[in-house]
Amino acid sequence: MSATAMSPATSATSLLLLHTWGGDARTWAPALRFLCAGGRAAEAPDLPGHGERAAEPFTLAGALETALSHAADHPADHPAGHPADHLVDRPADRPVDVVGSGLGALVALALARQRPGSVRSLTLVGFPPAGGPAAAGRLAETEERLRRAGTAAFARSYVDGTLRGPDPARRELLRRSMAATRPRTLLDSLRATLGWADDEPPRPPGPPCLVLRGAYDERVGADAAKTLAGQLGGTYGVVADAGHVAYLDEPEAFAAVLADFHHGLDRAAAGPAAVPGPAGRSGTEPVPPVRHSSDPPTRRSPSAER
């Protein structure tokens, strides 16, 4: 399907979905019915040390290799029973729209920098993490809590303090995934995420970029996300009513924000005669504005993780 003839419910460009810290491919399941509306193709791999790859050690290099294999010129194989088995096979010769949340955002950014020709657009969700002393403090606190409480209790506390949505099934997806992840993997992947800018300062990755956060994300503030968007030459967007893991908190609203962003790129590719974007800008704008709500006043939920 060409960009000019596509259904308003979908885009011809496939999605590569990279999960949050402690999550796995299955945590994308609630959002897939909206993200794949109209038959849009998508892939959601497990990163090393997560999901069906829990026995593997986590390294950023290994996670990048996973992303590269799914953005390569051939579809990746998926084991039987994996959620990706139910996704539509993507065209093998087209760049993908990469979406990463938390840890997945770190991997997505690395992918866009290393292989920009394979990435049509980049969406970073719940990113950047805290830096400096706050990052060191969070890593030390997480290590101590894992040691004292164990992974299962830590996972329950983390999910209760992170997800805003009341749906128990969505909470269970993240809780089970995190509880099945080895403590060393959680610490190694958290260390990599918190140190994301240590070796390489923020710079435009090449493809159009959207920095997206939940309106009530208590780990990534609006100012930090807006600053990163500016550093990357991208756009800042908000998912109303969502917290840090926006794709699990508000999957339908999350998919709607992505659809606006991606359809803006579709319109730009269609040329000057394309229909204006959602904010009245011309469809030739490479990255149309996609802000969907004002940020609410900062507040902490009583159940938020300390």
* pLDDT 10s digits, 201-215: 677 778 999 999 999
- Digit-coded pLDDT (tens) for 126-146: 999 988 888 999 999 999 999
- Digit-coded pLDDT (tens) for 242-291: 999 999 999 999 999 999 999 999 998 887 654 443 332 222 223 333 33
Place of tokens 């402690």: 22
Predicted local confidence at residue 270, as pLDDT: 82
Predicted local confidence at residue 199, as pLDDT: 62
Q: What is the mean pLDDT of residues 30-40?
A: 92
What is the rounded CA–CA span in Å between residue 188 and residue 283? 42
Predicted local confidence at residue 271, as pLDDT: 76
Sheet holding 15-18, edge to edge: 42-43, 15-18, 96-101, 119-125, 209-214, 235-239
Predicted local confidence at residue 103, as pLDDT: 98
Beta-strand runs (E) in 12-135: 15-18, 42-43, 96-101, 119-125
DSSP state of 177: H
* The model's pTM: 0.82
pLDDT band at 147 (very low <50, low <70, confident <90, very high): very high
Asked if pLDDT for residue 28 goes beyond 50, the answer is: yes
Looking at per-residue confidence, does 187 or 296 come out higher?
187
pLDDT band at 172 (very low <50, low <70, confident <90, very high): very high
Q: What is the mean pLDDT of residues 155-173?
A: 95
Long-range CB contacts (within 8 A, 24+) of 61-66: 63/103, 63/106, 63/107, 63/110, 63/189, 64/107, 64/110, 64/111, 64/114, 66/107
Q: What is the mean pLDDT of residues 175-190?
A: 98
What is the rounded CA–CA span in Å between residue 188 and residue 195? 11
Predicted local confidence at residue 269, as pLDDT: 85
What is the rounded CA–CA span in Å between residue 271 and residue 26? 37
- Digit-coded pLDDT (tens) for 69-104: 998 643 433 333 334 433 434 444 579 999 999 999
